[in-house]
């Protein structure tokens, strides 16, 4: 009888652990974008990516549609190439879309703001492996201050 009680308590222990693990999985951790979903890949060339990191969000009007997969440097022109994986459910973006690197809040993380372009006759939608031509680089604070000093010296 004593051993049965021990087994019962161990069973309770296991159930508690599973409950804790489930709570961590469902309530605490973010695993909705951990690669199991269907995605397609887009590329964009920037002059300067600022503080963008791998796994930064790609947002359309504040809604996260994908993540930055990889950041590399082009082998011939030495400009950064950002690889983004976009959820397949958002596969209707027109070719004329533009991307820019934005900052959430004053001190927040940098993310890619995706601006869908006009969809017209004769303009195809972006698909796997396409390059987005229209890009705006990150604002670098030092450059801004430099420009400000330069222009105030003029006046």
Q: Under the rule (CB under 8 A), what is the footprint of other proteins?
A: 3, 6-7, 9-10, 12-14, 16-17, 19-21, 23-25, 27-31, 34, 53
Q: Least distance to other proteins from the beta carbon of 49, Å?
A: 15
Contact 117, 133 (CB under 8 A): no
Sheet holding 57-60: strands in order across?
A: 130-132, 39-45, 80-87, 63-73, 57-60, 110-115, 98-103, 134-136
Q: Measured from the CB atom, is 58 or 132 closer to other proteins?
A: 58
Cα–Cα distance measured from residue 22 to residue 37, given in angstroms and rounded to the nearest whole number:
20
- Residue 101: Cβ-neighbour burial (10 angstroms; 0-12, 13-18, 19+): buried
The residue (of 6 and 120) whose beta carbon lies closer to other proteins is: 6
15 vs 123, which CB is nearer to other proteins? 15
- Nearest distance from residue 74's CB to other proteins, in Å? 22
Count the alpha carbons within 13 Å of 51 in the hemisphere toward its beta carbon.
Answer: 10
**In the complex with other proteins, which residue's Cβ is closer, 53 or 133?**
53
Q: How far is the CB of 58 from other proteins (least distance, A)?
A: 14
Tell me the closest approach of the beta carbon of residue 22 to other proteins, in angstroms: 9
């Amino acid at each position: 009888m004593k051993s049965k009680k021990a087994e019962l308590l161990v069973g309770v222990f296991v159930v508690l652990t599973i409950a804790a693990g489930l709570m961590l999985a469902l309530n605490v951790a973010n695993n909705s974008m951990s690669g199991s979903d269907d995605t397609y890949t887009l590329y964009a060339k920037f002059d300067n990516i600022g503080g963008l990191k791998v796994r930064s969000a790609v947002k359309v009007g504040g809604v996260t549609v994908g993540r930055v997969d990889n950041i590399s440097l082009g082998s011939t022109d030495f400009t950064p190439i950002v690889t983004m994986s976009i959820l397949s459910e958002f596969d209707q973006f027109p070719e004329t879309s533009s991307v820019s690197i934005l900052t959430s809040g004053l001190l927040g993380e940098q993310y890619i703001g995706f601006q869908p372009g006009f969809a017209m006759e004769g303009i195809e939608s972006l698909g796997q492996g396409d390059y987005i031509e229209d890009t705006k680089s990150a604002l670098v604070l030092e450059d801004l201050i430099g420009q400000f000093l330069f222009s105030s010296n003029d006046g």
